[in-house]
Chain A
Amino acid sequence: MIKNYITIALRNLMRARQYTLINVIGLGIGLAAIVWAFQIYRFSFSFDDFHPDQERVFRALSTKEGNDAPMGFFPMPAVQLAKGDFSSIEAAVRIRHNTVDVKAGKNEPFMEPILFTDLDFFSVFNFPLLKGQNDLNDRSAILITEEIATKYFGDEDPIGKEMVLYAGTEFPKPLTVKGVLKNTPNNSTISFKLLTNYENLQHGDGTPAKPDEWNSMLDAAFFKLKTPEDAGRLAADFKKYLPLQNAARADWKMTGFSLVSLKEHAQMSDISVNHLEERPKDSAIFGPLVLGLLIWISTCLNFTNTTVARSNQRLKEMGVRKVMGGRRSQLTTQMLLECFAIVVMAFGVAVFLNSLWLPSFSSMFFIEVRAEYLTDGVLLAFIGLAVVLTTLLAGAYPAFYISRFNPTQIFKGSVKFGDTSLFSRLLLGLQVSIAMITVIGSLGFAENAEFQRTYDYGYDRENVVNIPTQNASELAAMKAAVQQIPGVEAVAGTHALIGFNLPWRTIEAEGQIKEGSVYSIGADFMEVMQMKMVEGRAFDPKLESDFDNALLVNETMAGNFGWTAAAAIGKTIRLDTQNFTVVGTMKDFHGTMLFGTIDPAAMRLVRPEAASNLVLRAKPGEVVSVFDQSKAVWEKLFPMKPYRGYYQNEVAAEAMRVTTGISAVNRLFAIITLLLTATGLYALVSLTLLKRMREIAIRKVMGASSINIVALVNKRYFWIFLFGAAIGCFGGFALTKLLMDMIFKINSGLNPATLAISIAILFLVAVATVGVKVWGVLRTNPAEVLKGD
């Protein structure tokens, strides 16, 4: 029996190739979309789940005066002290990320991310060793990942090779490669390429880190506890280190600590000042989830509608089968089996689509999504479930619908076809809504991309190049050299850069304690960046007092203290222990990316010796050539040091990449849902026409014009279409705005024109689809149709 079912199913599918092909591709897209969304979801919530003892490992977080948000920083010496002080601590790990120049053999030096840590690292975390040994007790050892092994040593065995780390250029630290580790997985909050003992950390001036440097902050501290229940008490006990810490860092007064388990910490996406990797933001997880589900539902709806449409051609077959003794359940089984066959084929398409789509998505968003169909049990189970659900969702209605009819009714021709069914039309309406949502999403984010591209950050980000240097003499030499480049308009040395540093400080004035960024800038910095004053004056390097106690605030900071721009002038502001006088109020500028709002900010003037960054502004249009020329200049001056220059515009790059990426994903999905809507509409209109062929012929004979016929056919779809479009407009507007606000504090919002264009696009697609079909009917000779009766 089963074999007979399968034979018939396959034959039927072969016979209706167009139908089969449309649905295999359609459902393939739907399945690909939910597998994609599911994998993003899993990836996002799988962070750090590969470490054993997840419940026993805790990350220590701190809080800071004036800010209750947990921060990733932890006082460095406290870790080893705590290990000695509290018996419930089994292992303790300090983690400090740095970027260092690394040189091996005759290669040029490269900048690489390195992690300084402790002996306990490998007893707490699971980062498998491929070759050699991972004993961090060996101070001369450096452990590298496969990637680094290949990059520096190619096919040679890296074990025993020397690698030199530089703190500054003058302070080399030679280490020996003792072990090769697997690359860190993408769902790890701890990510590194090089790993060595904490004691190998050197400060910029070449001095080694000492264990009791209370002014030194760790990027993260982890403790493995004997019993996890101790965590709360331990966090409270850690407070005993506060006095030592706060004495060393008056600018960074901590107020307390908390311990969160590794599992919990991996779920957090709101740790402030977190230098570890984080799981993707909620918007990056749930946006795709909603989108994937919408696409999947839309493809299922389409399948349902085309199947119902096709079933009219199969009514006779069903009638005959019933007369021959087929029970309703058997017919239903047969229909469902056909659906199942289509879904299974569709899954093949989904595998193929995802093999193209997942890698390009991953590279667009740095969210590593892969689908290892053969080895991933959870994914397999999900796919099994999805296939069954899709079959039922898409196939159940047609299967029960067709098998319902009484054969004599079928033969008499009195069976009503499904086009008038409200159900089919509601499905179509839903599809229209979904298409509308994706179209609006795509256009909205395209609009946002344009908005962000031209957004005024409050300074010149188009023509500025930043070149970090390691000391004042390097900076002076470089400054003199770049001034000779003809395309350069202005040059300045500075300590802080806008958009790349987060000089977040506690700021006190008139008894109020606030937070804000305090940038230490060089004298000409504001001129290079083309930042504007609103009130008062800019810094004057000729005034010695400006170096000591002058401060500029931006409008937001003035506002935070309740001052107008003019009233701020002359006010006293306290930073740590030192008092400053506000000499000017600056126009607001965007200090970070557009993900956040404008920060309250202040500027203080640093002496040329304290400057480490060179900023230069190119003449409009010449920034690329200036960049290349300054690189050439650098390489001539400092042949052994890597050039680290970058465009100021990179501050906008991440936001641009995200918004254009979302726009691209939405565009792709908009095209897909539009196509799906078109096929769905096509199927329904075909069905209507099939059913009303005779009526249309009669009307034509009675003198109906083409317009009469078009109106007749479209009447029943027009309202449902309008209704679906209205819902879609609302949903698309709400969802797109929600997503925009979740990701970007500064965004373009949605323009009414975007909605209008979306409606127009959808309408055009509908008209084109219906038009093709109706055109064919208008051209048929009514006599042909009526002859059959």
Chain B
Amino acid sequence: MINLKNIERFYRTGIQKTWVLKDVNLSVKQGEFLTIMGPSGSGKSTLLNIIGMLETPDAGEYLFLDEPVFQFNERKRTELHKHYIGFVFQAFHLIEELTVYENIETPLLYRGVKKAERQSMVADLLDRFNIVGKKDLFPAQLSGGQQQLVGIARAIIGKPKLLLADEPTGNLHTSQGEMIMTLLKELHNEGMTIIQVTHNEKFATYGTRIIQLEDGFVRRDEEMRDEG
């Protein structure tokens, strides 16, 4: 599904280059649950942004579903990520002026989904995540875990093939974090490809594969045994 070849990302300080990512090669198959780990500043988020097509590397090649992403124009890229990719953020990034319902509905608006269909899709998700009673609340009225639930609901409402989660549990208590991870695992079991960035060793084990980034290099890449 994802094929990264010789990805490089750097910024210049005077005449020196400081590498954020160097010579990263990564391929992710459909249905994998990949965890990216590494210390702060190791390039985890940058890598995730590149995969999510929010950032362009300085060099390298990226095939998404066998299509060369970097050769596309802005519009085509927006189309790709609109239809295939969902995002979950550490800081939730809900729109404060919108209710829970409206936040979840927003991606559908951008896809031009009809109103009746939108209603049923949002209702399904609210139901599934047990937040039906909260649908008219604003993000500020929710706990962190509930906000992240909304964040995930919003990310998957468009049925993306790939879910990118940047430290989804970073701002949460452990118990809330486990709830979120369980949910991600469930989504994975339903066949969604997930890539998450995390610091948490324990939450890393929810995935099927872990890569360790250090100073922009992929230091370790291991498959987990599925515990079933």
Contact = CB atoms under 8 A, between A and B. Distances in A.
Interface of A: 694-695, 697-699, 701-705, 708, 781-783, 786-787, 789
B168 to A, nearest CB: 14
A698 B95 contact: yes
Nearest to A414: B140
A783 B54 contact: yes
A235 B55 CA distance: 93
Contacts of B78: 703, 705
Contact of A708 (B52, B89, B95, B110): B110
B82 A694 contact: no
Given A695-B95, A781-B54, A703 B89 contact: no
A789 B93 contact: yes
Most A CB atoms within 10 A — which of B81, B89, B94, B110? Answer: B110
Nearest to B87: A701
B32 to A, nearest CB: 22
Closest 4 CB pairs of A and B: A703-B82, A783-B54, A789-B91, A703-B110
Interface string B85-127: 0010111011111000000001100110000000000000000
Contacts of B106: 699, 702
B162 to A, nearest CB: 13
Nearest to B45: A787
Contact of A694 (B49, B54, B93): B93
Nearest to B157: A702
A786 B89 contact: yes
Nearest to A702: B107
A789 B94 CA distance: 12
B145 interface: no
B158 interface: yes
Contacts of A703: 78, 81-82, 107, 110-111, 158
Contacts of A708: 110
A690 to B, nearest CB: 16
B154 A702 contact: yes
Interface residues of B, number: 23
Nearest to B154: A702
A703 to B, nearest CB: 4
Given A708-B110, A782-B54, A698 B82 contact: no
Contacts of B96: 695
Nearest to A779: B74
A702 B110 contact: yes
B93 A783 contact: no
B110 A783 contact: no
B163 to A, nearest CB: 13
Interface string B121-156: 000000000000000000000000000000000100
A701 B81 CA distance: 8
Contacts of A787: 45
Interface of B: 45, 49, 52, 54-55, 78, 81-82, 87, 89-91, 93-97, 106-107, 110-111, 154, 158
A175 B96 CA distance: 92
A694 B96 CA distance: 10
Given A704-B110, A783-B55, A787-B45, A699 B95 contact: yes
A703 B78 CA distance: 7
Contacts of B94: 698
Given A694-B93, A699-B110, A701-B93, 15 more contacts: A695-B95, A695-B96, A697-B93, A698-B95, A699-B106, A701-B52, A701-B54, A701-B87, A702-B87, A702-B106, A703-B81, A703-B110, A703-B111, A704-B110, A786-B89
Give the interface SS of chain A, mostly helix, strand, loop or mixed: helix
A36 B67 CA distance: 67
Contacts of A781: 54-55
A786 B91 CA distance: 9
Given A703-B158, A787-B45, A698 B93 contact: yes
8 contacts: A695-B95, A698-B95, A702-B107, A702-B110, A703-B82, A703-B158, A704-B110, A786-B91
Contacts of B154: 702
Nearest to A420: B97
Nearest to A698: B93
A221 B49 CA distance: 92
A783 B49 contact: yes
Nearest to A787: B45
Contacts of B87: 701-702
Nearest to B96: A695
A703 B82 CA distance: 5
B107 to A, nearest CB: 5
Contacts of B91: 786, 789
Contacts of A701: 52, 54, 87, 93
A783 B56 CA distance: 11
Instruction: Indicate the member of B45, B54, B55, B154 with the most A CB atoms within 10 Å.
Output: B54
Nearest to A694: B93
Most B CB within 10 A of own CB, among A699, A782, A786: A786
Nearest to A708: B110
Contacts of A697: 93
B110 A786 contact: no
Contacts of B111: 703
A705 B110 contact: yes
Nearest to A697: B93
Contacts of A783: 49, 54-55
Nearest to B97: A695
A787 B89 CA distance: 10
B81 A786 contact: no
A695 B93 CA distance: 8
Nearest to B82: A703
A698, A701, A782: residue with the most chain B Cβ atoms closer than 10 Å: A701
Nearest to A789: B91
A526 B213 CA distance: 102
B206 to A, nearest CB: 23
B73 to A, nearest CB: 12
Contacts of A698: 93-95
Nearest to B106: A702
Contacts of B49: 783
B175 to A, nearest CB: 23
A701 B87 CA distance: 7
A385 B32 CA distance: 74
Contacts of B107: 702-703
B48 to A, nearest CB: 9
A421 to B, nearest CB: 15
Contacts of A695: 95-97
A789 B89 CA distance: 10
Nearest to B94: A698
Nearest to B50: A783
Nearest to B89: A786
Contacts of B97: 695
Contacts of A789: 89-91, 93
A430 B183 CA distance: 53
A417 to B, nearest CB: 13
A269 to B, nearest CB: 59
A699 B109 CA distance: 11
Which one of B52, B95, B97 has the highest number of Cβ atoms from chain A below 10 Å of its Cβ?
B95
B24 to A, nearest CB: 17
A696 to B, nearest CB: 10
Centre residue among A703, A704, A786 by max chain B CB count within 10 A? A703
A783 B158 CA distance: 20
